[in-house]
């Protein structure tokens, strides 16, 4: 079982992260991230009920995700 305990310091850093974006993963998890470059975001927080999402190294806080646009047909 995974327990999430909110960090009280997050309350004081709320104004620093005003430009956060929320993305959904294919498994349905939500990722909070901040832009850090052209087509790149840095993961701040992962919100998921699936334990396997937390084991994915691409979704860990601090990792960089490259955004790419594509059209699915």
The whole-angstrom separation of Cα 3 and Cα 50 is: 12
Residue 70 pLDDT: 77
Do 65 and 41 contact (CB within 8 A), yes or no? yes
* pTM score: 0.68
Residue 37 pLDDT: 85
Render pLDDT for 21-52 as a digit per residue (tens, 0 to 9): 999 998 899 999 999 988 899 999 999 998 89
The whole-angstrom separation of Cα 11 and Cα 50 is: 25
Domain map (residue ranges) of the chain: 14-66
Do 35 and 21 contact (CB within 8 A), yes or no? yes
The whole-angstrom separation of Cα 61 and Cα 48 is: 13
């Amino acid at each position: 079982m995974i327990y999430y305990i909110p960090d009280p310091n997050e309350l004081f850093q709320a104004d620093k992260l005003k430009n956060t974006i929320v993305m959904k993963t294919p498994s349905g998890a939500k990722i909070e991230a901040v832009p850090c470059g052209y087509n790149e975001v840095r993961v701040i927080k992962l919100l998921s009920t699936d334990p396997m999402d937390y084991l994915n190294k691409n979704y860990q806080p601090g990792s960089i995700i490259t955004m790419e646009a594509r059209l699915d047909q």
